Copies of this chain bind each other. A is one copy, B any other.
Amino acid sequence: MYEETVLGIDLGGTKIAAALISPDLKILWEDKVPTDACSGVEGVLSQLLELIKTASAYAHPTAIGLGIPGPLDRKTGTVINAPNLGWHHVPIGRLLEEAAGIPVLLENDANAAALGEQVFGAGRGVSDLIFVTVSTGIGGGIIVNNRLVEGRNGGAGEIGHIKVVEDGPVCGCGQRGCLEALASGTAMARTMVERLSQGEESLVRELAAGDLCRVNMVIIGQAAQAGDPLANEVISDAMRYLGTTLANLVSIFNPELIIIGGGVTNIGPLLFQPISREIQRKAFPTFADNLSIVPAALGSRAGVLGAAAVARQYLLDRQE
């Protein structure tokens, strides 16, 4: 029988969230603090140890899962690159393990969130699913046969960097035509601003009080819901790219479920309807039948709960 408590920590550029999880998947305690990224690795390490100490007052964790905003090397517990933290090649896993005296497992934050939704959220009881999160960027994680697809160094699942337009707009990763550069909230806002700058008319201009710097997804979503043609076009173009990409992932993974999270899901049917249509049209025949497409259930807590699930999985594997 599984009887161990685990601690999940989601280490972000602006905040650190932690959750202590009981053997029967209850949340025993959770908290979050602003990340003191300016004080460097040592400062953040102290923050992590403080959270562990507080958690341990409730129950002693047997392992820690640590979600990281960037590529990492799971085997050595090293963060390869985390721009939001200003970290390059930081062996945070080893440092934390030495200081805390229990195993620390690193996982990419989007992958952790996918696992969080599977264990605690919209994917409970589903063994094969695709999780995608659409906000300022596009991230994701894929679960096959109840396991995260990790790849060589835990970096798999870079859905946002699938190329969807040959020589398309430049992406934050430095390449061109990535899904993220065409269908993220940031990309939609940029497209809208470009088209307004070219003199096209839209309710967005009024809602932004004429200031194009204020154009964002909230405003674009409001305009679209009020029937504004340009806002609807910008969203549906972006969602076609996202839908095509998800259709291709369905042909590859033949999953039971797609979970879509992130701030952009607030636009509701404007997002889900075109995505669903593209998947029906473009996924390998029959794979779209009985495929569910649902909103994420955990919001920003998916990452921290998923980090705990990573630690739990490690302990379960060790038990075998």
Within 8 A of B (CB), among A285-320: 285-287, 320
A162 touches B285 (CB 8 A): no
Residue A128 at the chain B interface, CB threshold 8 Å:
yes
Residues of B within 8 A of A153 (CB): 254
Contact B287 A255 (CB under 8 A): no
Contact B128 A151 (CB under 8 A): yes
- A163 interfacial contact with B, CB 8 Å: yes
Across-interface contacts of A282 in B (CB, < 8 A): 163, 175
The interface residues of chain B lying within 8 Å CB-to-CB of A151 are: 128, 144, 253-255, 287
Task: Apart from A155-B286, A162-B251, list 13 A-B contacts with CB within 8 A.
Answer: A71-B286, A149-B149, A150-B254, A152-B287, A153-B254, A158-B252, A161-B284, A162-B248, A162-B252, A163-B244, A163-B247, A163-B282, A249-B252
| A318: min CB distance to chain B, Å | 15
Q: A128-B152, A151-B128, A163-B248 are in contact. Are A173 and B285 (CB under 8 A)?
A: yes
* Complex: chain B residue closest to A281, CB-CB: B175
Q: How many residues of A contact B (CB 8 A)?
A: 41
Interface of chain A residues 271 through 286 with chain B (CB within 8 A)? 281-282, 284-286
User: Can you identify 12 A-B contacts, CB atoms within 8 angstroms?
Assistant: A71-B286, A149-B149, A151-B255, A152-B254, A153-B254, A158-B251, A158-B252, A158-B254, A161-B251, A162-B248, A173-B285, A252-B252
Complex alpha-carbon distance, A155 and B252, angstroms: 8
Shortest A292–chain B CB gap in Å is 12
Cβ contacts under 8 Å, A287 to chain B: 151-152, 155, 158
Are the C-beta atoms of B256 and A155 separated by less than 8 Å? no
Interface presence of A145 (CB below 8 A): yes
CB pair B174 A285 closer than 8 Å: yes
Q: Give complex CA distance A14, B316 in Å.
A: 46
Whether the pair A149, B252 counts as a contact (CB closer than 8 A) is yes
Confirm or deny: A147 has a beta carbon within 8 angstroms of a beta carbon on chain B: yes
Is B152 a contact of A145 with CB atoms below 8 Å? no
**Counting CB contacts under 8 A, is A270 at the interface?**
no
Check if A48 is an interface residue, CB within 8 A of chain B. no
Question: A147 CB to closest chain B CB, in angstroms?
Answer: 7
User: Contact mask A73-113 → B, CB, 8 Å, 1/0?
Assistant: 00000001000000000000000000000000000000000
Residues of B with C-beta under 8 A to A152? 128, 254-256, 287
Asked whether any CB of chain B lies closer than 8 Å to the CB of A121, the reply is no
- Central interface residue in A173, A253, A255, by most chain B CB within 10 Å: A253
A244 partner residues in chain B, CB cutoff 8 A: 163, 166
Judged by a CB distance under 8 angstroms, whether A157 is at the interface is yes
List, in ascending order, chain B residues with CB within 8 A of A254's CB. 150-153, 155-156, 158
Residues in B neighbouring A249, C-beta threshold 8 A:
252
A166 to B251, CA, bound (A): 16
Asked if A159 is at the interface of the complex by the 8 Å CB criterion, the answer is: yes
Question: What is the distance, in angstroms, from A101's C-beta to the closest C-beta of chain B?
Answer: 29
